[in-house]
Amino acid sequence: MAYDLRKDSYYTFDHDTGKGKIYQDDQKGVVAQTKRVLASRYAVLSIIFAIVGSLIFYNTAALQLNASTAVGMIESSGIPRQQTVRAPRGDIVDTNGIPLAYSQTIPVLYLTYAGLEDDELNAMLLDLAELLNRYDIKWTSKLTNYLDWSHETCSHEPVTDISDLNALVCGEPQFMKDAEAIDYWQTDKYQLGLFAAQAGQTSTFKNDLVKPTANDVFEYLLYNRFQIEDPEKPRQYTDAEAFQIMKLRYTLMINNWLFKNGTPLEIARNVDPEVINFINEQNYRFRGVISGQDSTRVYTDEAVLASHVLGYTGRITSSQYEELKPLGYAPDAMVGQAGIEQIAERYLAGQDGVKPYNIWTVAGEAGTFFSEAIGKDPEPGYDVRLTLDLSLQKVAQTVLASTIAEIRAKVSKANKGDADSGAVVMLDVRTGAVLAMASYPYYNPNDFIQQATDKEAAKRVEANLLDGKTKPMLNRAIQEIYAPGSTFKPATSIAALETGVITPFSNTIRCVGTQAIANWTWHCLEYPTSGHGDLSLTRGLATSCNMYFYTLGNRTGIDAIDKYAGLLGLGNLTGIDLPNEAKGYRSSKETKTLLRSNPADQLWYPADTCQSAIGQFDNSFTVIQLATYAASLATGNKVTPHLIDTISTPDGVIIKDNDDLIPVKLPISAASLEAVRAGMIAVANDPEGTATSAFRNFPIKVAAKTGTAETGFEDFSSSNGLFICYAPADNPQVAIAQIVEKGAWGSNTIGIAKALLSEYFDVEDNAVAVVVPIDSAVTPATTPITPATTTAPTTQTAPITE
């Protein structure tokens, strides 16, 4: 029984309006109800809806259930075009897995040839330019390197809102380069390709003669080259709009051949996904505009401190392309150009993929959409884990820089305050794993990646490449060779001990201050008149007395010194996994012959042996050699220094592991090594030691050797400061070698090693007091006071190192 709602309803029901009369309570039953419904407008509407629903059902079913439609629709021919999808490069991580270099996928907009020409193309390009401007997407054209709009005559402030075209382009066109560059630009057949005007010819926008003013070039491009406007008709675009079109047309023009053959040209990168969606949805409007991905290298902020180790990637060079082409490299591939990036290129680089792309072309070419899922997916590169410890690397690079700055600041007689560069290497003596490797000055590898789009970065890259004085691109740890100075003395000692000139128990030599040895008069640097007196090997190393080693070297002979220095790895390639390692030179009769062209200079004098024994003369080694040398002194083994720990696939399967680089035992007796180690321990612990003051109260027992190597340019610059060490002395774990060019004293540099050891051994007090008033370790190159009886080797400065 229905009830009456009317009384308490908000709506009052009026019987007289008639509408309510259709409903009658007593009319029950299906037939009556159906009749009532059919008589009503509702029924009519329902029937209309039902018909429409049936139509939709029918149309859907016709598509679904007709096999031929389905097949025909899906398999109909389309436009077979494809683009390369660049594979992401593998990551480079430090020994703890902290990322140093990774790949970032960035969305890129490309323009492909879709059959559009002239007016249609121009309209579409303007549409596109406006879209990009609206979303603040930076896009560049090479045209603006030559031709742009001057803002000198503008009345308004410089605009930041690039979506306002008319504010962006005001004033008048002007050339952006000097006359010569503009003339070349106009006549170069790969650019504008105009002809110089002959006598009697006048340049107008209608002909292909070189244009005198920027405005003429603008009009030529506007009316003639790109046919943006018809000179006979009123203008359809403003200058600002026309210039947007011009910029894009210029990009197409200089890549015309590639473009017409289906190569997508990059227009903008880092494009908002929203814009990409918009363009994809309106692909009939932005004909030929496709989106794609590019993968770009990113180095973390901290990785900048390991720039020389990591290297950087850059556009493949023609010689690299010839070599890598068979491996499927594209002519515009990005390949490693230095460091690990270069050496591990074949692992880091993945395999580029090929994907079909889809464009909406003019009538007749409409076809099937090629799913992006078909085609070949790019295969990402393998990941490289380094032995480098980022925390140590940070200390190495920052303390190296700060130490150089400190040395510059304390000018003295021997220190001209010109220290400007240096390098440090820290090895694990047990495996040869490089824990830190720094070279100063360094560079930012990101600049090399960004130089194409970032003008500031390009400037920095150029400055780095052109800087011939400090050479920031040079990895001084492996690519530069230095006279080792006194750090060579342990090698001389080993040679003397192994050949039996001295023994671990009988090795006293007297230093009397000034003495003739090997037909040359030499002076003790510290006590030229009184001398050190009787020196044992230990004390000789601790005080680094040159007189001791002149005598020792003279007795041992250059051939034995050469042999044992070579065994300890000096002057030999270490085999580190970095490109362009320098070999250096060991002083020897052969080397002297090799390095000098004049036969008179090739004769070997006994004084040369004395020079060589203290690490001067032809001796010149890399810092990495000095580091492996220190490691060999520490363990008696020869290690292969290496930076790559493991290489693994993206799934984590290790395909290369450098754990199999097993140290080789050296043919040097334990007793000899012990005797030299005692000397090196004394260097850092004995009151007379040249590094003792720096390591006073240092909780770890260190064995070390300082070195100050003359470069032969002492009149203009300071000597190089070197330092090698290993620690802990009684159970060696790490070895360090370092140099500060023009650092004046070897002991000046100790702070770097001390900071590294503090970090490695977790020593609390990191403050390093490098206050050494007198450094006895200085070794003069050739400063004879009185000429001896034989011909003085006056040309014998360190010839290699500068």
Among 145, 260, 369, 459, binds other proteins (CB under 8 A): 369
Binding mask 116-155 for other proteins (x = CB under 8 A): ---------------x--x---------------------
CB closer to other proteins, 74 vs 653: 74
* Site for other proteins contains 50 (CB under 8 A): yes
Please tell me the distance from the alpha carbon of residue 620 to that of residue 625, in angstroms, as a whole number.
Answer: 10
Distance CA 86, CA 567 (A): 46
Among 27, 32, 35, 45, binds other proteins (CB under 8 A): 45
293: contact with other proteins by CB under 8 A: no
731 binds other proteins (CB under 8 A): no
Look at the alpha carbons of 591, 596, 601, 607 in this order and tell me if their dihedral is positive or negative: negative
CA 216 remoteness from chain centre: 43
57 binds other proteins (CB under 8 A): yes
Smallest gap from Cβ 58 to other proteins, in A, equals 9
Smallest separation (angstroms) from other proteins to the CB of 248: 19
Question: Counting contacts by CB under 8 A, is residue 195 touching other proteins?
Answer: no
Nearer to other proteins, 256 or 277 (CB): 277
Q: Is 354 in the site for other proteins (CB under 8 A)?
A: no
- C-alpha angle 680/686/690, rounded to 5°? 65
Cβ–Cβ < 8 Å for 222, 243? no
The reply on whether position 28 binds other proteins by CB under 8 A is no
Can you tell me which of 4, 152, 651, 660 binds other proteins, judged by CB under 8 A? 4
Sign (positive or negative) of CA dihedral 534, 536, 538, 541: positive
Of residues 30, 31, 374, 771, which one binds other proteins by CB under 8 A? 374
**83: nearest Cα among 364, 359, 453, 360:** 359
Cis peptide before 88 (omega within 30 of 0): no
Structure token digits, residue 28: 């029950």
Check residue 26 for interaction with other proteins (CB under 8 A): no
Instruction: Name residues contacting other proteins, limited to 196-235 (CB under 8 A).
Output: none
786 exposed, middle or buried (CB, 10 Å; 0-12, 13-18, 19+)?
A: exposed
Given the complex with other proteins, which of 374 and 785 has the nearer CB atom?
Answer: 374
Q: Is 278 in the site for other proteins (CB under 8 A)?
A: yes
Site for other proteins in 64-103 (CB under 8 A): 64-67, 69-70, 73-74
- Quote the least distance from Cβ 237 to other proteins, whole Å: 15
Token pair for residue 726? 């290993």
Give the shortest CB-22-to-other proteins separation in angstroms. 6
Out of 119, 195, 284, 365, the only residue in the binding site for other proteins (CB under 8 A) is 284
Nearer to other proteins, 31 or 653 (CB): 31
Q: Look at residues 379, 423, 372 and name the one whose alpha carbon lies nearest to residue 401.
A: 423
Q: Decide: is 17 part of the binding site for other proteins (CB under 8 A).
A: yes
The H-or-E segment that residue 334 falls in is strand 334-336
Nearer to other proteins, 370 or 761 (CB): 370
Q: Please, what is the minimum distance in Å from the beta carbon of residue 713 to other proteins?
A: 60
- Distance, CA of 552 to CA of 494 (rounded, Å): 11
- 512-535 b/e (C-beta count within 10 Å ≥ 16 → b): ebbbebbebebbbbbbeeebbeeb
Of 26, 29, 31, 41, the one binding other proteins (CB under 8 A) is 41
Examine residue 282 and tell whether it contacts other proteins (CB under 8 A): yes
* Crossing angle between the packed helical segments 606-613 and 546-556, to the nearest 10 degrees: 130
653 binds other proteins (CB under 8 A): no
Quick one: which of 96, 145, 371, 503 contacts other proteins (CB under 8 A)?
A: 371
Choose among 95, 105, 97, 84: nearest CA to 297: 105
For position 774 contacting other proteins by CB under 8 A, the verdict is: no
SS3 611: helix
With CB under 8 A as the contact rule, which of the stretches 63-71, 111-119, 210-218, 558-566 interacts with other proteins? 63-71
Binds other proteins (CB under 8 A): choice among 307, 358, 648, 719 = 358
How is residue 697 written in tokens? 């109260």
Query: Do residues 721 and 743 touch, judged by C-beta distance below 8 A?
Result: yes
One character per residue 313-352, x = contact with other proteins (rule: CB under 8 A): ----------------------------------------
Q: Are the CB atoms for 663 and 732 separated by under 8 Å?
A: no
Minimal distance, residue 287 CB to other proteins, in Å: 10
Amino acid at 9: S
Task: State the DSSP H helix or E strand holding residue 535, giving kind and residue range, or none if neither.
Answer: strand 533-535
Closest residue by Cα to residue 768 from 776, 778, 786, 756:
756
Q: Could you give the angle at which helices 558-567 and 489-499 cross, rounded to 10 degrees?
A: 110
How many residues interact with other proteins (rule CB under 8 A)?
A: 66
Residues that bind other proteins (CB under 8 A): 1-14, 17, 19-23, 37, 40-46, 49-50, 52-53, 55-57, 59-61, 63-67, 69-70, 73-74, 131, 134, 278, 280-285, 358, 360, 363, 366, 368-369, 371-374
